[in-house]
Amino acid sequence: MHDVSEETAAIVDLVLEYSRSRLLASDTPLDKPLSEAELARLAGRTIREEGIGARKALGIFEHVLAPACISTDDPGYLSFIPSAPTKASAAFDVIVSASALYGGSWLEGAGAVHAENEVLRWLAAEFGLPEGAGGVFVQGGTLGNLSALVAARDTARRAGKNPERFAMVCSVEAHSSNKSAAKVMDVDVIAVPAGEDGILRADVVRAALDEHGDRVFAVVATAGSTNFGIVDDIAGIAALKDEYDFWLHIDGAYGLAGMLSPVTRELFTGVGRADSLVVDPHKWLFAPFDACALIYRDPEQGRRAHTQHAEYLDTLTDTDDWSPSDYAYHLTRRPRGLPLWFSLATYGAGVYRDAVTHGIELARRIADEIEARPELSLVRQPMLSVVVFEREGWTKEDYNRWSAELLDDQHAFVTPSSHAGRTNARFAILNPRTSFEQLVEILDTMK
């Protein structure tokens, strides 16, 4: 199964033919999940002592397994945070796998690491970080946030802080991954209230810093919350660094890409003072799953916290080479930043700015449409590209029924959300192929 033979040539042809068809399709179905029992019945037993052959295995994937997975790149996928990879990035992901590249060390993947670092430097400059800032592409925002906060605590310890219990400050509306990171690290979370508009402001952060003192090793500000797309008062929080000693981490997994658009760039004033930040290219930077850019203001602080030492690793750690495995909580890694590099190099940054701006402007336009309908009301005005609204008189059961019907009809994937104990509907608009007319048709179904 490792030799180049007629059989392996046929397998490669089958896979590439399917990949080409999927990449160039303009009308792929949204699809929907099936039950475990139904999948077992349709797929049958596929793992046996003797193989079933590539053609049959691919047939089961194409006709049974793939249709039971919702297509996250469909313009009707408006739940959670969608993925809308460019055709160039998705195609290049095939090359990444086919090339047997390892992206953990400079020794083994210098060319790939060089390309990834070019993207990271470009992002750092866009976000206002100084020359010399850098980092690594990791699996997702959860791992990126954890790795950044581990580096923050390590830096505090090296500076002589040694409280009985370390603590981090974040908004009550901060992403759950930050609280999960605190649990893994066994540190306390000081969750401070956001304003009525969902924005975390400097005054409540200041109060937490005054109350908890040296226990606080980090403050997390959000640049585009998942549920509402809210951007915290980053400038005000960053200004506190002039008076207090803390690590400022920006969780911009979804929303920080909004800084590329001239329409919303000013919302992110202060990001350039961050000690670390994350942004997920598989969200609003149109790369395939999975990729999160973790960037440090001073990468050496990340390297000191995360470099693993072992006898078999001496050949890597005894050099000054830039090895991505040194900058996050991981060792083995694929060069997951390469599809984004290829797409940026192919299309140019200007096209990305236009695509991000499309989502912002479409969100504002559909928000106006919602406000014009007496049976609908906005929960909050959109800051970025997430629109949250309610249907008058509807219960949770009504939203669930409506959502299920949309998916059953292959109309759209819009799962209900909630805020302050009230169920609502939510559009997460990232895909440049999503249209105003499509969103209006969805609203029309809310009868």
Listed by start position, the domains of the chain span 6-30+33-69, 93-347, 349-444
Q: Quick check: 324 and 137 in contact, CB under 8 A?
A: yes
Cβ burial 260-296 (10 Å sphere, 16+ → b, else e) = bbeebeebbbbbbbbbbbbbbbbbbbbbbbbbbbbbb
Output the CA–CA distances (angstroms, integers) from residue 404 to 83, 227, 343, 390, 397, in the order listed: 21, 20, 35, 17, 11
Separation between Cα atoms, residue 215 and residue 163, nearest integer Å: 6
Question: CATH assignment of 349-444?
Answer: 3.90.1150.170
Q: What is the pLDDT of residues 35-64, one digit of tens each?
A: 999 999 999 999 999 999 999 999 999 999
Provide the whole-model pTM: 0.97
Comparing CA positions, the residue from 147, 187, 141 lying closest to residue 330 is: 147
Output the CA–CA distances (angstroms, integers) from residue 311 to 27, 139, 233, 318, 435, in the order listed: 53, 26, 46, 11, 56
Q: Quick check: 190 and 172 in contact, CB under 8 A?
A: no
**In this predicted structure, what is the pLDDT of residue 317?**
81
Separation between Cα atoms, residue 253 and residue 282, nearest integer Å: 9
Q: What is the rounded average pLDDT for all residues in the chain?
A: 97
Task: Write the DSSP symbol of residue 231.
Answer: B
SS3 for 33?
coil
Ranges of residues in the chain whose predicted pLDDT is under 70 = none
SS3 for 387?
strand
Q: Which helix (H) or strand (E) holds 122?
A: helix 106-126
Q: What angle do CA 27, 364, 261 make, to 5 degrees?
A: 85
Whole-angstrom Cα Rg for the chain: 23
Separation between Cα atoms, residue 180 and residue 177, nearest integer Å: 5
**In this predicted structure, what is the pLDDT of residue 167?**
98
Q: What is the pLDDT of residues 133-190, one digit of tens each?
A: 999 999 999 999 999 999 999 999 999 999 999 999 999 999 999 999 999 999 999 9
* Tokens representing residue 57 in the block: 């295995």
**In this predicted structure, what is the pLDDT of residue 313?**
81
Q: Which residues contact 297 (CB under 8 A, 6 or more apart)?
A: 129, 130, 133, 274, 275, 276
Class for the domain spanning 93-347: alpha beta
SS3 for 400?
helix
Task: Write the DSSP symbol of residue 131.
Answer: T
**In this predicted structure, what is the pLDDT of residue 446?**
97
**In this predicted structure, what is the pLDDT of residue 314?**
75
**In this predicted structure, what is the pLDDT of residue 328?**
98
**In this predicted structure, what is the pLDDT of residue 316?**
78
Beta pairing class for 216-222 and 422-428: unpaired
The strand order across the sheet containing 417-419 reads 376-380, 386-391, 422-428, 417-419
